[in-house]
Amino acid sequence: MSDPLRIDKWLWAARFYKTRSIAAQAVSGGKVQINGARVKPARAVRVGDIVEVQRNGLVWTVEVLALSGKRGPASVAQTLYHESEQSVRKREALTEQLKLATASTPRPRHKPDKKSRRQLRNLKW
């Protein structure tokens, strides 16, 4: 069995976050849970742990399959975890809802001209 690894480092290696410092901030902010408990960035993650990651309003529930302290290609990163079917369905449903919500939002045809910008500014103040 391999040595335990810090959760922030594992999240970075598994490509949930772009940098390790962003991963550490997310863990400190309560956006990551291990086995249902809020943790600190230095908490060790082990094979078999259930990790819940909240990012951009979406939630991933994954089981840790392997540990890696090195960030590699996305194909290798995907072998570090397995996402539950329920998590995939929830995330896809939420993504679809967000797409429908943004599609129904009216968009202006063009950028407002100087007169329109003044009128908008006056409305806000």
- What rounded mean pLDDT belongs to the chain? 90
Tell me: pLDDT of 116 over 80. yes
- Other Cβ atoms less than 10 A from the Cβ of 83: the count is 14
pLDDT digits (tens, 9 = 90+) for 32-67: 999 999 999 999 999 999 999 999 889 999 999 999
The fold of the 5-103 domain, in CATH, is 3.10.290
**Nearest in space to 76 (alpha carbons), one of 15, 18, 5, 35:** 15
pLDDT digits (tens, 9 = 90+) for 7-32: 999 999 999 999 999 999 999 999 99
* Single pTM value for the model: 0.76
The alpha carbon torsion through 69, 73, 77, 79 (nearest 10 deg) reads -120
Q: Where are the domains of the chain?
A: 5-103
One-letter identity of residue 40: K
